[in-house]
Structure 1
Amino acid sequence: MPVGNILLHNGEFMTLLVMALALGMDAFSLGLGMGMLKLRTHEIARISGTIGVFHVVMPLLGMVVGMYLSSVVGDVTRWIGALLLIGLGGQMIWNSIFGKDDEAGDSRASARTSGIGLFLFALSVSLDSLSVGFSLGTFGANIALAVTLFGICGAMLAALGLGVGGRVSHLFGEYGEVIGGAVLVAFGLKFLF
Structure 2
Amino acid sequence: MAVLRKCARPMLASVFVTGGLQTLRDPRRAAPAAEPVVAPVASRIPWLTEDPERLVRINGAVQLGAGLMLATGRVPRVAALALAGTLVPTTLAGHAWWKEKDPEQRAAQRTQFTKNLSLFGGLLVAAADTHGKPSVAYRTRTAAATGRKAARRTRRDATKALSGAAGNAKGTVRSLTGSAQKSVARQQKAVARRF
Calculate the TM-score normalised by the size of structure 2: 0.29
Higher relative contact order, chain-length normalized (CA < 8 Å, sep 6+): 1
Largest Rg, 1 or 2:
2
Calculate the TM-score normalised by the size of structure 1: 0.29
